[in-house]
Amino acid sequence: MKFSLASFGAGLLFGLGLLISGMANPEKVLGFLDIAGQWDPSLAFVMGGAILVGLFAFTLAKKRTLSFLGFDMRLPAADRLDKRLIIGSVLFGAGWGLAGFCPGPGLVALGAGETGALVFVAAMVAGMGLFELIEKHRVSN
């Protein structure tokens, strides 16, 4: 029960942060990506703040063997760039640039009733399903 409540609280805090910062608004994101036009640098400040929080959190997490809720710590072990990471990053960036959403803000915007988010989330779920099919085929061969 405490895991579900903690997850709910973290998700609620994340969603509220996205709404308050305007990052669930695709026009805000597209304005950041429009460096040749009416560039909006505010997303850079949000990203900078997130990087600082993440840096602090990962530094602390690396020193722990258990989470604050008592679960084993499972941090990513990958430390190299490979073809799959590069291709995934390009696809993620292209989707972000076309739609103005990434997964978190897309779900928040969907919950807020944004119609464009419905198309984005549907495409995101379809992409995840396609990835799973490809992975199953890749592993079985």
Average pLDDT for consecutive 10-residue bins of the chain (141 residues)? 76 87 85 88 87 92 86 83 89 87 89 89 93 90 77
Number of domains in the chain: 1
What pLDDT does residue 1 have? 54
Q: Structural domain of residue 121, as residue ranges? A: 2-140
What does the pLDDT read at residue 3?
64
How far CA 12 is from CA of 35, 61, 126, 138, in Å, comes to 31, 22, 25, 36
Give the pLDDT score at 97.
Answer: 87
pTM for the predicted model, two decimal places? 0.71
CA nearest to 26, candidates 127, 98, 123: 98
Q: How far is CA 64 from the centre of its chain?
A: 24
